[in-house]
């Protein structure tokens, strides 16, 4: 199948890529741009490991073709923090031990970041990661980490 030109701004960097119309966004991020922080688990839109921000919204990058998002702005976990620093949410994940194997973590961070950007009340925290599966932690440490940020406990941290 003939390749198509796709324009993407990923983590503030502009790219022009010739890609097969069949390629998923997760494949382009991982295989073409070497952004392997975005994980590929189920490839069916079920696990959330591949979640990225697409024009600010949390989207499962295995569920969209790269050609469908021509012109979009993408943020991956590599682009969350500014330079060597960490975002308040990343710091909170560290403080709360909100990961074990880490396979779900980038997707959790992206979903929770989009959720926190909407200024939620802490009672709704579960909704922020309802599309993300973790097979290790039992979720409590992840929920505590997100809640701490929602409650403003990391206001003076990170960027």
Task: Please give the Cα distance from 124 to 105 (Å, whole number).
Answer: 19
Nearer to ligand FES, 62 or 143 (CB): 62
15: left (phi over 0), alpha (psi -120 to 50) or beta: beta
Nearer to ligand FES, 108 or 148 (CB): 108
Nearer to ligand FES, 82 or 109 (CB): 109
- Can you tell me whether residue 158 is helix, strand or coil? coil
- Total Cβ atoms within 10 A of residue 26: 25
Residues 89-108 that bind ligand FES (CB under 6 A): 99-104
Structure tokens at 23: 């390629």
Is 137 a binding residue for ligand FES by CB under 6 A? The answer is yes
Total binding residues toward ligand FES, as defined by CB under 6 A: 22
Q: Using the rule CB under 6 A, which residue among 134, 146, 149, 150 binds ligand FES?
A: 134
**Residue of 111, 3, 117, 115 lying closest to 47 (CA atoms):** 111
CB of 146 to ligand FES, least distance (A): 14
Binding site for ligand FES (CB under 6 A): 40-43, 45-50, 60, 62, 99-104, 134-137
């Amino acid at each position: 199948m003939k390749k198509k030109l796709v324009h993407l701004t990923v983590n503030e960097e502009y790219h022009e890529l010739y890609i097969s119309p069949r390629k998923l966004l997760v494949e382009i991020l991982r295989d073409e741009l070497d952004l392997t922080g975005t994980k590929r688990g189920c490839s069916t839109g079920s696990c959330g490991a591949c979640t990225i921000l697409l024009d600010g919204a949390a989207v499962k990058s295995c569920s969209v073709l790269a050609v469908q998002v021509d012109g979009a702005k993408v943020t991956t976990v590599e682009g969350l923090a500014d330079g060597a620093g960490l975002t308040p949410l990343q710091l909170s994940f560290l403080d709360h031990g909100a990961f074990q194997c880490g396979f779900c973590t980038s997707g959790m961070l992206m979903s929770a970041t989009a959720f926190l950007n909407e200024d939620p009340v802490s009672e709704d925290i579960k909704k922020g990661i309802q599309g993300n599966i973790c097979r290790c932690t039992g979720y409590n440490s992840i929920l505590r980490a997100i809640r701490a940020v929602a409650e403003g406990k990391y206001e003076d941290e990170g960027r």
